[in-house]
Structure 1
Amino acid sequence: MSPQSKKLRFIVNGALFAALTAIMAQIEIPLPIVPISGQTLAVGLTATILGSRQGAVAMVGYAALGAVGLPVFAGFSGGAQVLAGPTGGYIFGFILTAFITGYILEKTSFNLPMAIVANVTGMIITLLCGTIQLKFVLDMTWNQALAAGVYPFIAVGLIKAFLASWIGIIVRKRLIQARYIKEDTQPAAS
């Protein structure tokens, strides 16, 4: 495969997984401040399947689509005001989460136990990033921010981390078998 083809595949993968995240964001359970949505499951799947760089690029693409006003965030919302609002920290956290989750897997092994460790780590990163912005945007105490932005999401976050690990490892193996992705999913250097 030529370097141009590898770069194109890298971009297409990022776009596909940004779209997957946008679709899964619309699956939500409303809560008073921060809804439970399928976004975090999509982030875990993205990182588990694509790895650190492609996963982070997909999440940058997702955030950028929403920033320009496309309704890709939870509840069909979009715009810079969402990123600057109480839940924006979670969206920014998706970028770091995808990178760190994928990085852990790249440095260890793409297997179920390591994927669970990586996705639980990613869940913690997302919750921390979201809670920090939630605290400052809504002028909450740390206890209030944790009560609104972390505690309600721990149990469901662990379930999503397991699902992202399990499904992600299976899909990744099948994509490798189909020669759609390689063990090394990074693009060729320019």
Structure 2
Amino acid sequence: MNTQSNKLRDLIHCGIFAAITAVLAQIEIPLPLVPISGQTLAVGLAATILGSRKGALSMVCYVLLGTVGLPVFAGATAGVPILLGPTGGYLFSFIIIAYLTGFYLEKTSFTLPQAMIANTIAMFVSLLLGTVWLKYVMGLSWVAAIAAGVTPFIIPGLIKAFLASWIGINVRKRLITANIMQEYKASA
């Protein structure tokens, strides 16, 4: 396959994961400031399946779609006010954690144990970044920010980290076997 075909295929993969994130964002449990949603599951899937650059690019696409007004964020919301509101830190963290998760897997191996480590670390990074943002945007104390932005998300986050790892590694293997995606080769 030529380089242009590979680039087009990569862009299609990124677009698909931006769309998957938009769909999973609508699966939510409302909480006062920040809902529990399927977004972080989608981020973990994107990174585990696509790797660092394409996983992060898919999240850039997702955030841009919401920024320009498509209702892709949790609760079918969109726009700059959402990005500047209580959930903005979590949304921006998706780009970072997709890159970090994929990078970790590229430097170690695309296996279930490594994916669990990567997705669990990513969950805590997202909670950290989102909670810092939440604290400053809402003017909360650290105790209140942690109570609203971390505590309710630990158990669901660990479950989503496991699901993203297990589903992601299995789907990745199948996509490579079907020649729909190329195996990542670390550069020397």
Please state if 1:152 is matched with 2:170: no
Give the TM-score taking structure 2 as reference length. Answer: 0.97
Structure 1 match to 2:17: 17
Structure 2 match to 1:103: 103
Q: Which of structure 1's runs of 4+ aligned residues deviate more than 6 A?
A: none
Structure 1 match to 2:124: 124
Which letter maps to 1:129? L
Give the TM-score taking structure 1 as reference length. Answer: 0.96
Q: What are structure 2's unaligned runs of at least 5 residues?
A: none
Please state if 1:5 is matched with 2:5: yes
Structure 2 match to 1:32: 32
Q: 1:16-95 alignment to 2 at 5 Å? A: 16-95=16-95
Q: How big is the alpha-carbon RMSD for the aligned residues of Structure 1 and Structure 2?
A: 1.1
Identity %: 62
Q: Displacement, 1:129?
A: 1.2
Structure 2 match to 1:171: 171
Residues 95-140 of structure 1 deviation map (CA, whole Å, 9 limit, x = unaligned): 0010000000000000000000000011011111111110010001
Q: Displacement, 1:165?
A: 0.2
Which letter maps to 1:140? L
Structure 2 match to 1:161: 161
SS at match of 2:96: helix
Q: Displacement, 1:184?
A: 2.0
SS at match of 1:182: coil
